[in-house]
Amino acid sequence: MQYGKIVSTGFSQAWKYKTLWIFGFFISGGGAGYLGDIGDKIKVDAPINLNLPWLQRALVDNIGLVLLAAVLILLAIVIWIILSTISSGGLIHAAGQIKRGEPYSFVAAFKTGAACFWPLLGILVLTIIVSAAFVIMLILSGVIAFTIHMALGVLSLLVLVPALIVGMFVIVITMAMAQRYIVLHRRPVFDGIVEGFALWRSTLAPSIVYTVIYIAISIAVFLGTLLVTLYVVIPFAAVAFLNLLAALVVGIPVVLLVLLVVDGFTGSAMHLMTTEFFFQLLDERASTATSAPAVDGDAIPPLSPPPVSDQP
């Protein structure tokens, strides 16, 4: 397994084909992932009384605006999920085009991502459901163990924590491989899951090593993006003390542009890395199965966009 080639291929392709950054921006969340736990880190010493008459009156008097804001936020989330799912398929298709030596086309990649939208969304929904059920089961097991006895609860952590790590590894890598079978080999959802699981299981050691490498690069990317974002945001935060409107009008577009470049590049590079890893896993399995007949699914098929489904 050529791990250096996997990393270099992902980042070099992302740098060469910069329109892939659009896909990468939506996949990476546009920086939103770096802001999710800020609220958990803020400590407030004084109690906050949210039962304020003026707040209640403001909400009642502007109920129309509140409902409109809620609808717009929900609509934005739905649009983002749609674009993120299409972007995932588009990046996988683009990596396949480049791998086969075909001319890269952003339009063809987008069309393929759109055509594969429903199965890719199905993989995403299944992953969320299975992950949530698995985590809840582990939490309940730990709570029951602590309820029985404190010592038993502490001992249970020695089993539950490794189980969490292993379980999430299995779920995430199976989903990643299934996505690539769906887009590159036109597999249905459950066939993609079965083949994706079988692929990484047959090459377990390389899969574990790549996961460690991916996590290390993800941490480095996270820290680098955070530093760049702070470097850009802090000057506008200072300007906000003098002129809030000017800071918002100029700062928001600049920050979004920086996030598009940074998150777009790194997001697409990481996704392209995993697709190159997928190709190398196929090669690895084919090389070890010298006595077995060739597996039809291991070949990289022509990457013309699949027919658009009539499904709503």
Global pTM reads 0.77
Q: Per the domain annotation, does 265 fall within a domain?
A: yes
Total of domains in the chain = 1
Tell me the pLDDT band of 112, cut-offs 50, 70 and 90: very high
Q: Please state the rounded mean pLDDT for residues 56-85.
A: 81
Q: Reply yes or no on whether the pLDDT at 115 is more than 50.
A: yes
pLDDT digit string (tens) for 220-243?
A: 988 988 888 888 888 777 777 777
Q: Distance between CA 91 and CA 172 in Å, rounded?
A: 18
What residues make up the domain containing 82?
3-25+56-289
Q: Per the domain annotation, does 312 fall within a domain?
A: no
Q: Per the domain annotation, does 254 fall within a domain?
A: yes
Q: Distance between CA 236 and CA 252 in Å, rounded?
A: 9
Q: Per the domain annotation, does 119 fall within a domain?
A: yes
Strands (E), the chain: none
